[in-house]
């Protein structure tokens, strides 16, 4: 068999779009931000999130569907993204809140309860505030419905709009006899218990009004989602037959991001990972980590536990694909099916709405040669940039420090240098990524590494204060004509294009 060309650096270069791509050209600005605010540093581009929501709305328009796009707040805890959405036209997007804290934050950011949806498992205080303000509640279980109804009665709260989260969808008879397996979810009411759940809805009609049903599936598989969506349309029929009047089908999130620009780079890297696990080439990872692949007698076993970093169809394009996909039993495109049934479509993208909305910066502290490997220690730890935690493999961008360009001989073959990125904790496992990362040249202390596209789940979701290492501060950056303006996240209010005082 042809041997891979080992001389080439195995890049996984990030997909960059404006304004993130333009911001990465501003090395001096980014260096001065880290000089002032420390490493690690989160940088957000709040204006992009409304643009992303508009791209989702374009797909709604194409399929003639009404309904709301809710940003899953859990993807990013910052102020500026939620405030930027609050400033956008209410028809563009709302916010999906999954805790009392997120609900309070969204309300305080200027979003009215009509633009909010409370999801996930909920505590009584969260339910109370949702009901008190008139925030629609996506019910996780029948138990939660009863709890909510009790609160409404006990505290004389207004009747509250609810959605039922359904789970465990199985194909209807006549849909081809194929059993589609899905990972089981801890959340939602199994579809087979829908009638019982509707009994409960009817018994509590004084307290709750059913406005729709929904699902959230943790899969990139369109077929599984198609089955769930079509099952929800059938569930809506059942609700209507019982005299209820629900209006929307909620399809959750999971639209995804393409992190790596080039499909070829992604395919080459994943092929080489398999070869490395089989021992046919030098390791690509720290201590030969296989990312879920293992070598059993020369045969590759297991599946790579990796996010598909290059995706042909992600975000709004994935929604379009799903809505164009035929329903497994009706054969009608799902968008058409929703429209024909006069249903609204709600969805809660998190990662996909945060696409291109930010980056995480880390200062290079030390570059050490250690038995053939190059170890680069960063003023950041694995909790500060959660890419690896989500199985996302993508290269950081090297922003040279003020010492200027490094001599060419510091680079590896073809100018590429393979290094391991170490975190700032006194912990063997604290690697930013277990992958050997190829950079255009060897980093030097004082350089910055910019991890692009971290606004979705990779900024604050896993950050912690272990060892009293600093938690990243967050700044909001906006374009101001030919230059840039920045402020700390909490000082960002979207009242002028630059985020400064309104003129």
Partner 1 sequence: MRYDSIVEAIGNTPLVRIDPAVHGLRHIDLYAKLEMLNPFGSVKDRAAWNMARDRLAAAAGRGATVVELSSGNTAKALALLAGLHGLPFKSVTNRMRVPEIKDLLLLLGAEIEELPGRSECLDPTDTEDPLTRFHQALADEGGAYLHTDQYFNPRNTEAHATGTGPEIVKDLDGRAPDWFIACVGTAGSSTGVARALREHDPRVGVVGLVADKSDFIPGIRTLDEVHQVGLFDPATYDTVEPVTSDEAIDGMLTLIRRCGLLSGPTGGAAYHGAVRHLRPLDARLTERRTAVFIVCDRAESYLSYVRQRRPELLGRPPRKNSVETLTGEEAARLAKEATVEEARRLLSEGAPPPLVVDLRGPHAYAALHIEGSLNIPDELFAELVRGGLPFARSRPVLLACPVGERSARYAALLTRMGHPGVRSLAGGIVGWRDSGAPLVRD
Helix 194-203 × helix 222-241 angle, to 10°: 40
> Whole-number minimum distance, CB 264 to partner 1, in Å?
9
Q: Residues 21, 147, 170, 330: which binds partner 1 (CB under 8 A)?
A: 330
The continuous run of DSSP H or E covering 128 comes out as helix 124-133
The verdict on whether omega for the bond into residue 131 sits within 30 degrees of 0, i.e. cis, is no
Residue 314 C-beta: closest distance to partner 1, Å = 10
Residue 325 interacting with partner 1 (CB under 8 A): no
Q: What are phi and psi of 13, to 5 degrees?
A: -75, 140
Regarding 389 and contact with partner 1 (CB under 8 A), the answer is yes
Closer residue to partner 1 (CB): 202 or 237: 237
Q: What is the DSSP string of 307-371?
A: --SS-SS-THHHHHHHHHSBPTTT-SBHHHHHHHTT-EEEB--STTTTTTSEEEEEEEEEEEEET
Among 120, 134, 292, 497, binds partner 1 (CB under 8 A): 292
Q: How far apart are CA 216 and CA 206, in angstroms?
A: 28
Residues 442, 419: contact at Cβ < 8 Å? yes
Residue 61 makes contact with partner 1 by CB under 8 A: no
CB of 234 to partner 1, least distance (A): 8
Q: Does 219 bind partner 1 (CB under 8 A)?
A: yes
Residue 308 interacting with partner 1 (CB under 8 A): yes
Q: Which is nearer to partner 1, 298 or 481 (CB)?
A: 298
**Quick check: 233 binds partner 1 (CB under 8 A)?**
yes
Candidate segments 95-103, 147-155, 220-228, 393-401, binder of partner 1 by CB under 8 A: 220-228
Our CB check for partner 1 shows the closer of 64 and 464 to be 64
Report if residue 120 touches partner 1, rule: CB under 8 A. no
Q: What length is written for the chain?
A: 503
Element housing 124 (H / E): helix 124-133
If DSSP codes are grouped into helix, strand and coil, which group holds residue 477? strand
Q: How many CB atoms lie within 10 A of CB 77?
A: 17
CB 175 within 8 A of CB 326: no
Pick the closer one to partner 1 by CB: 220 or 324.
220
Long-range contacts of the stretch 422-428 (C-beta < 8 A, 24+): 422/375, 422/376, 422/377, 422/378, 423/377, 423/378, 423/380, 423/381, 423/382, 423/384, 424/365, 424/377, 424/378, 424/379, 424/380, 424/381, 424/467, 424/469, 425/381, 425/382, 425/466, 425/467, 425/469, 426/467
Q: Which DSSP symbol is given to 422?
A: E
CA distance 273 to 74: 32
CA dihedral sign of residues 212, 60, 221, 383? negative
Work out how close the CB of 255 gets to partner 1 at its nearest, in angstroms, rounded to a whole number: 8
Least gap, CB of 129 to partner 1 (angstroms): 26
Shortest approach of partner 1 to residue 56 CB, angstroms?
A: 16
Q: Out of 77, 110, 391, 497, name the contact with partner 1 by CB under 8 A.
A: 391
Does residue 263 touch partner 1 according to CB under 8 A? yes
Task: State the Cα–Cα distance between residues 246 and 390, nearest whole angstrom.
Answer: 35
Q: For residue 122, state whether it binds partner 1 (rule: CB under 8 A).
A: no
> Which of 13, 55, 150, 332 is the binder for partner 1 (CB under 8 A)?
332
When the beta carbons of 209 and 389 are compared against partner 1, the nearer one is 389
> Is residue 242 involved in binding partner 1 (CB under 8 A)?
no
CB 78: neighbour CB atoms within 10 A? 25
Residue in 5, 156, 183, 426 binding partner 1, rule: CB under 8 A: 183
Q: Which residues contact 369 (CB under 8 A, 6 or more apart)?
A: 375
Q: How many CA atoms lie within 13 A of 202 on its CB side?
A: 12
Interface stretch with partner 1, choices 102-110, 251-259, 362-370, 469-477 (CB under 8 A): 251-259
Q: Facing residues of 422 across strands?
A: 377, 431
Which distant-in-sequence residues (6+ apart) come within 8 Å of 108 by Cβ? none
Question: Quick check: 136 binds partner 1 (CB under 8 A)?
Answer: no
Of the residues 17, 195, 267, 414, which one makes contact with partner 1 according to CB under 8 A? 267
| 142 vs 292, beta carbon nearer partner 1 | 292
| One of 301, 368, 402, 464 touching partner 1 (CB under 8 A) | 301
Stretch near partner 1 under the rule CB under 8 A, chosen from 34-42, 108-116, 264-272, 415-423: 264-272
- 402 forms part of the interface with partner 1 (CB under 8 A): no
Binding mask 2-31 for partner 1 (x = CB under 8 A): x-----------------------------
Q: Is residue 55 a contact point for partner 1 (CB under 8 A)? A: no
List residues near partner 1 by CB under 8 A. Answer: 1-2, 64, 66, 176-183, 218-224, 233-234, 236-237, 240-241, 253-254, 256, 263, 267, 270-271, 274-275, 278, 292, 297-303, 305-308, 330, 332, 336-337, 339-342, 388-391, 457
């Amino acid at each position: 068999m042809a041997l891979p060309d080992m001389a080439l650096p195995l890049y996984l270069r990030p997909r960059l779009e404006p304004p993130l791509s333009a911001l990465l050209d501003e090395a001096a600005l980014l260096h001065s931000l880290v000089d002032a605010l420390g490493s690690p540093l989160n940088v957000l581009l709040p204006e992009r999130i409304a643009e992303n929501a508009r791209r989702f709305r374009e797909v709604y328009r194409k399929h003639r569907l009404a309904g709301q796009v809710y940003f899953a707040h859990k993807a990013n805890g910052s102020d500026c993204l939620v405030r930027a959405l609050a400033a956008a036209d209410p028809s563009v997007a709302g916010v999906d809140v999954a805790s009392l804290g997120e609900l309070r934050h969204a309300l305080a950011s200027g979003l009215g309860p009509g633009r909010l949806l409370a999801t996930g498992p909920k505590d009584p205080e969260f339910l109370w505030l949702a009901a008190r303000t008139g925030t629609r509640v996506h019910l996780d279980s029948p138990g939660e419905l009863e709890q909510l109804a009790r609160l409404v009665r006990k505290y004389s709260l207004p009747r509250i709009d609810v959605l039922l989260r359904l789970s465990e969808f199985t194909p209807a008879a006549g849909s081809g006899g194929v059993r589609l397996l899905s990972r089981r979810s801890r959340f939602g009411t199994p579809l087979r218990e829908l009638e019982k759940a509707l009994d409960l809805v009817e018994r509590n009609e004084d307290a709750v009004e059913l406005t729709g049903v929904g699902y959230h599936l943790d899969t990139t598989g369109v077929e599984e989602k198609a089955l769930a969506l079509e099952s929800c349309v059938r569930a809506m029929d059942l609700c209507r037959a019982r005299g209820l009047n629900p209006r929307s089908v909620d399809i959750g999130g999971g639209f995804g991001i393409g992190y790596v620009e080039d499909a070829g780079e992604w395919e080459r890297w994943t092929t080489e990972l398999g070869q490395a696990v089989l021992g046919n080439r030098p390791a690509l990872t720290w201590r030969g980590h296989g990312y879920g692949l293992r070598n059993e007698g020369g045969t590759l076993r297991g599946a790579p536990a990796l996010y598909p970093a290059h995706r042909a169809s992600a975000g709004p394009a994935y929604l379009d694909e799903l809505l164009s996909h035929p329903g497994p039993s009706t054969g009608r495109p799902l968008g058409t099916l929703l429209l024909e049934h006069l249903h609204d479509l709600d969805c809660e993208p998190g990662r996909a709405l945060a696409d291109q909305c930010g980056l995480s910066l880390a200062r290079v502290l030390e570059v050490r040669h250690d038995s053939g490997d190059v170890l680069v220690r960063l003023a950041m730890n694995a909790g500060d940039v959660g890419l690896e935690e989500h199985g996302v493999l993508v290269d950081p961008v090297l922003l040279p420090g003020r010492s200027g360009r490094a001599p060419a001989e510091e680079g590896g073959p073809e100018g590429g240098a393979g290094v391991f990125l170490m975190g700032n904790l006194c912990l063997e496992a604290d690697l930013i990524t277990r992958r050997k990362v190829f950079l255009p040249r060897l980093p030097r202390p004082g350089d910055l590494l910019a991890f692009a596209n971290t606004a979705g789940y990779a900024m604050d979701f896993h950050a912690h204060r272990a060892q009293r290492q600093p938690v990243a501060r967050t700044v909001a950056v906006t374009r101001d004509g030919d230059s840039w303006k920045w402020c700390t996240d909490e000082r960002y209010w979207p009242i002028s294009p630059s985020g400064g005082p309104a003129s």
